[in-house]
């Protein structure tokens, strides 16, 4: 008979969570990487841990309206509310008349 250990709830940044990570390659501007490395050193973390923390923080603090594309489309729709179709075409850069003529 095999003995099994009871599953425990683990903290999100514990060593056990490392088994659920994936390796990836990021291309970052050199200055940004230096800032992240300084940030990690100040917190006594690896660069990977610091990047994980920073990305999770940014995503957690993202405004609700931007978390899905419907929010963005709703903001776009509201920005054009009250404009005539002609005004919307002008905003889009669509030319309403023949080149060289004046449109009133």
Q: What angle (nearest 5°) sits at the alpha carbon of residue 76, between those of residues 71 and 77?
A: 95
Boundaries of domain holding 78: 68-104
Residues 74 and 56 in one domain: no
Let me know if residue 95 belongs to a domain.
Answer: yes
Q: How many CA atoms lie within 13 A of 79 on its CB side?
A: 9
Which tokens is 69 given? 């594309």
Kindly state whether residue 9 falls inside one of the protein's structural domains. no
- C-alpha–C-alpha distance, residues 28 and 40, integer Å: 15
Q: Dump pLDDT digits (tens) for 42-72.
A: 999 999 999 999 999 888 877 665 556 666 7
Same domain, 35 and 54: yes
Domain count, the chain: 2
The CA R_g of the chain, rounded to the nearest whole Å, is 25
Whole-model pTM: value is 0.45
């Amino acid at each position: 008979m095999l003995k099994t250990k009871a599953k425990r709830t683990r903290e999100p940044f514990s060593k056990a969570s490392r088994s659920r990570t994936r390796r990836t390659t990021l291309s970052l501007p050199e200055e940004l990487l230096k800032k992240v490395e300084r940030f990690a050193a100040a917190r006594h973390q690896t660069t990977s841990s610091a990047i994980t923390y920073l990305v999770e923080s940014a995503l957690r603090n993202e405004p609700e309206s931007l978390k899905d594309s419907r929010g963005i489309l709703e903001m776009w729709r509201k920005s054009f509310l009250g404009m005539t179709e002609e005004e919307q075409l002008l905003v889009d850069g669509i030319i309403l008349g023949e080149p060289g003529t004046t449109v009133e």
